[in-house]
Amino acid sequence: MPEGPEIRLAADKIAKVIEGKQIDDIEVGLPHLHQGAERLKGHTVSHVETRGKAMLIHFNNQLSIYSHNQLYGVWMTAKRGEMPNTKRSLRLALHTAEQSALLYSASDIGIYQLKELDEHPFLRKIGPDILKPNLTWQTIRDRLLSKRFCNRSVSALYLDQHYIAGIGNYLRSEILFAAGIHPDYKPKQLSEKQVAELAKQTLLISKRAYETRGHTVPNALAKKLAKTKGSYESVRFMAFNREEQPCRQCVSPIVKAQRNGRRIYWCEICQPLV
């Protein structure tokens, strides 16, 4: 499933095509969208927003399109009249005079009044968006130490959208590695310094993934790895998907395990369970 940085990048791409533009025509591939779509034709997209793994397209008539890609959804853009060559099912197409924003394969899509979004079943439950501009590491620290979250393993917490929205499986491994925290620790078991570092790395790694289109390695190391001409996947991460490969910090082999039904990776030397 795409994580917060990937959804924000998709939103950026869509915004370039439709933000500030009038939507001349709309195609829908799900019956429940027909009525709402008619109310959007002829109106202008005011802005495109993300909240965690959900995308919101807001219109000047106080209506919004909510979509969640889940596992298979994907947004594409194209010139008006030039549809992508894909076997995916078209769920939603927003056409301006010159370009189109197209959502394929997703099923969790709805059209809402702007004021209804705060009560949306998904949106009303999630924590702050990890890429929200005014989110601080202090806010993350406070959430880690709150009664609601402090007694849960960080491996579970970093998949829970109620804690922070937009973090998923690869970011979980990368954030914990960067902070030097073993996945089985609970926030209440960590020192004040460790909690602060975890909060700071949560923000830093997520922003880096967005800014570099999916890479979480530090910038200096990324430049060195780029010279090795390795595959995209082989140079992206510090720990995730690197089972039995040497740790980039201490050369001990990265281990892989299952936590909370998902694969997770860490270094037993750099992330000790004491």
DSSP state of 41: T
| Residue/partner pairs of 116-123 with CB below 8 Å, 24 or more apart | 117/56, 117/64, 117/66, 120/66, 122/54, 122/68, 123/51, 123/54, 123/66
How much of the chain is helix, strand and coil, in % rounded to 5?
30, 25, 45
3-state secondary structure of 193: helix
Residue 4 token pair: 């917060």
Catalytic residues: 2-3, 53, 262
Question: What count of Cα atoms within 13 Å lies in the side-chain half-sphere of residue 199?
Answer: 20
Distance CA(262)–CA(258), nearest Å, equals: 5
Q: Which residues contact 254 (CB under 8 A, 6 or more apart)?
A: 239, 242, 243, 244, 245, 246, 247, 265, 266, 267
Residue 157 token pair: 């917490």
Residue 140 token pair: 């993350």
